Structure 1
Amino acid sequence: MDIYGFHEASVLELRRDGSDVLIRLDVDFCDLPKRRKVIVIHGVDRIEIDSQPAEDLTCEEESSELLEFEINEDHVFLLIEWTNFSSRTNITRAYRIYAKSAVF
């Protein structure tokens, strides 16, 4: 298992594209300017959101923070907190994307 840390990374895009999943991040690297990072997960077999099967992925709210990102032998794990500032609500979701590989 490889665990990657993204300090205050915002999820700008989260979507399935055929057998791939695309994750586009806005990432802070300590004192460096914000940078965009794209992660592509290839050969997606199945997706689970909060341990429930899912067909597709989408950004759930206007703002987000990537709390955890792990690459395991058979899946990628994401923990994302979604925030809606208008209603002052947030929700944290756990994503498991079972796939062949992840590239970033």
Structure 2
Amino acid sequence: MEDTDTTATRSVRIGSEHGLHARPAKLFTQAVGGSGAKVTIAKGDGKPVNAASILAVIALGIDHGDEVTVSVDGDDAAAVLDRLVDLLLTDHDS
């Protein structure tokens, strides 16, 4: 069987009005955990953190409009990245 692991990376601006606080961060990290892929997220030019860790994600202090870079390593990385970017673009505070 052929190895189908791939890497996909994209930068996106946060859509939630109050940033990635507890509720949107929980939705995001749950989606990461359910994806089965290795995912990192970085704020601006900062160091990437494990996107499956709610504490690591909240510790980044990501506010509305901040640019983050999400990288996905694993099977179907582009599709996983599309789903995660959709979550980040959505305003979960309205």
Q: Normalising TM by the smaller chain, what interval?
A: 0.3 to 0.5
More strand by share: 1
- Structure number with bigger Rg: 1
TM-score (norm 1): 0.31
TM-score (norm 2): 0.33
Tell me: higher relative CO, structure 1 or 2? Use CA pairs within 8 A at least 6 residues apart.
2
More helix by share: 2
